[in-house]
């Protein structure tokens, strides 16, 4: 895996205790970043991850906040930016819902939007305030290949992830050239979200029907995130990278 130096950047990762977020925290810390590990109700896991990173010579601190709560997000940014603005933000926190559209009620819809789209908006808003003052920064928003493809019985999730793509590209235009905003839209990845406990057998079978014929690994997504945050990606903004095994080959 390529090692893109981050030169002690201060980076916040939301939803960082498991899956893709955890892989990002481990990789970015190895690349030299000072990592803030956001969690919601997972204090033990966040502390364990931070301790493990520090034991390997890295720098990491847990920070709790529910991204659906504006006051909690504001308090989180006050804490992590106490010594200066962030240089990087990874919006990874997300949930998924498998339910036919006509059975998706108002509460279901609002919950998905609150986490998967509104949470990204809130964190971008706070991060960009500091980055604008500093005149630099980089944001990576985690979307999904389903934001492009759509999928029956996942209308709320697909809509939110498509919104993340639109938000990413619009922010990239508005805050260029000094602040870069990019996205990563993974295909099926081996995480607790994508498991037999959360997904139907039919859904899992569809996810494996891709050219790569396998699920991706969180570390493969983290590699894309690490690249986009690094100076090696200085000419990348408004881009959506797709570690997806060929599930989506559009532009």
**Catalytic member of 4, 121, 154, 157:** 157
Nearest C-alpha neighbor of 80 from the set 104, 57, 64: 64
Q: How many residues are recorded in the chain?
A: 251
User: Which residue has 């619009």 as its token pair?
Assistant: 170
> How many other CB atoms are found less than 10 A from the CB of residue 109?
17
> How many other CB atoms are found less than 10 A from the CB of residue 67?
25
The answer to whether the beta carbons of residues 42 and 69 sit under 8 Å apart is: no
R_g of the chain computed on alpha carbons = 17
Cis peptide before 177 (omega within 30 of 0): yes
Does the active-site annotation cover 154? no
Beta bridge partners of 95: none
SS3 content of the chain, % helix, strand, coil (to 5): 45, 15, 40
> To which H or E segment does residue 112 belong?
helix 106-113
> To which H or E segment does residue 157 belong?
helix 155-175
Q: Cα–Cα distance between 148 and 39 in angstroms, integer? A: 27
Beta bridge partners of 142: 184
The burial class, CB within 10 Å (0-12 / 13-18 / 19+), for 56 is exposed
Residues recognised as catalytic: 157
């Amino acid at each position: 895996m390529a090692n893109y130096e981050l030169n002690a950047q201060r980076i916040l990762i939301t939803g960082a205790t498991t899956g893709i977020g955890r892989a990002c925290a481990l990789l970015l810390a190895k690349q030299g970043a000072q990592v803030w590990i956001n969690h919601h109700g997972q204090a033990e896991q966040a502390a364990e991850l931070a301790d493990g990173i520090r034991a390997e010579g890295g720098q990491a601190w847990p920070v709790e906040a529910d991204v659906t709560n504006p006051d909690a997000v504001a308090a989180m940014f006050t804490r992590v930016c106490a010594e200066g603005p962030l240089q990087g933000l990874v919006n990874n926190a997300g949930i998924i819902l498998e339910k036919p559209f006509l059975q998706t009620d108002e509460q279901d819809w609002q919950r998905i939007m609150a986490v998967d789209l509104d949470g990204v908006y809130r964190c971008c808003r706070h991060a960009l305030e500091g980055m604008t003052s500093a005149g630099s920064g980089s944001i990576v928003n985690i979307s999904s290949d389903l934001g492009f493809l759509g999928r029956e019985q996942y209308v709320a999730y697909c809509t939110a992830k498509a919104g993340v793509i639109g938000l990413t590209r619009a922010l990239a235009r508005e805050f260029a050239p000094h602040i870069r905003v990019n996205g990563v839209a993974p295909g099926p990845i081996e995480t607790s979200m994508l498991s037999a406990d959360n997904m139907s057998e039919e859904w899992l079978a569809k996810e494996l029907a891709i050219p790569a014929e396998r699920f991706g690994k969180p570390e493969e997504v983290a590699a894309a995130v690490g690249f986009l945050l690094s100076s090696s990606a200085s000419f990348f903004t408004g881009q959506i990278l797709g570690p997806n095994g060929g599930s989506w080959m559009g532009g």
